[in-house]
Chain A
Amino acid sequence: KQEVTQIPAALSVPEGENLVLNCSFTDSAIYNLQWFRQDPGKGLTSLLLIQSSQREQTSGRLNASLDKSSGRSTLYIAASQPGDSATYLCAVSSGNTPLVFGKGTRLSVIA
């Protein structure tokens, strides 16, 4: 059974810092991996989707990488801002089954 782990569970950084969030998964036979953002009390918003054949995806200050063979993905946030404060979740799609989510990393960017 696929399991997704995110480390660290919480992270606090000063504004302007570049940071990396980590995601690992146990079964490398995935279709894709997605990163989501969740603000307190809200639903999830998709940030980036990486297909299994891709190595990375970029959107603005966000860059997500995927190393399928090692079961790892990273989300890189450049020049962090207080507005980036949220919980970031990764999820993997394996075959014809629903997404499996990690528990998320709660990010605080301090002004």
Chain B
Amino acid sequence: DVKVTQSSRYLVKRTGEKVFLECVQDMDHENMFWYRQDPGLGLRLIYFSYDVKMKEKGDIPEGYSVSREKKERFSLILESASTNQTSMYLCASSSHQGHGNTIYFGEGSWLTVV
């Protein structure tokens, strides 16, 4: 069974803390994505990666960075967490972009910044 695993489901962090959200997929997918989801705003793309050590900015990259040192792992980093980064974060992976392959999502990570 295909799997995208987000290591932390619920986190509470303080303003200014450095936060790491980890995502691992076991499908040997080239593409990985980080979205955040907020009520009324839908899913917004933060960063994505088409291969190891590659990264591309999405629609809302400000305040975030990413790391992809291994094919199966894509990490989202909040260098200095702020309250407006309180959100649900969703990781996803797919085998080829835009060519008819299904994208798989993790269960999500709920981050609260206080």
Q: Which residues on A are within 8 Å of B, measured CB to CB?
A: 31-32, 34, 36, 41-46, 49, 51, 89, 93-99, 101-104
Contact = CB atoms under 8 A, between A and B. Distances in A.
Contacts of A101: 42-43
Contacts of A94: 98
A36 B37 CA distance: 14
Contact of B103 (A46, A96, A102, A104): A46
5 contacts: A31-B99, A42-B108, A46-B103, A96-B97, A101-B43
Contacts of B105: 36, 43-45
A46 B97 contact: no
Interface of B: 4, 33, 40-43, 45, 48, 58, 88, 90, 92, 97-100, 102-108, 110
Please provide the 9 A-B residue pairs with the shortest distance between their CB atoms, ordered closest to farther.
A103-B42, A43-B105, A44-B105, A93-B98, A101-B43, A31-B98, A43-B107, A46-B102, A43-B108
B98 A95 contact: yes
Contacts, number: 52
A98 B58 contact: yes
A64 to B, nearest CB: 14
A32 B43 contact: no
Contact of A89 (B41, B43, B99, B102): B43
A79 B41 CA distance: 30
Nearest to B35: A101
Nearest to B9: A41
Given A98-B45, A102-B42, A103-B42, A46 B98 contact: no
A28 to B, nearest CB: 15
B45 A34 contact: no
B58 A42 contact: no
A89 B100 CA distance: 17
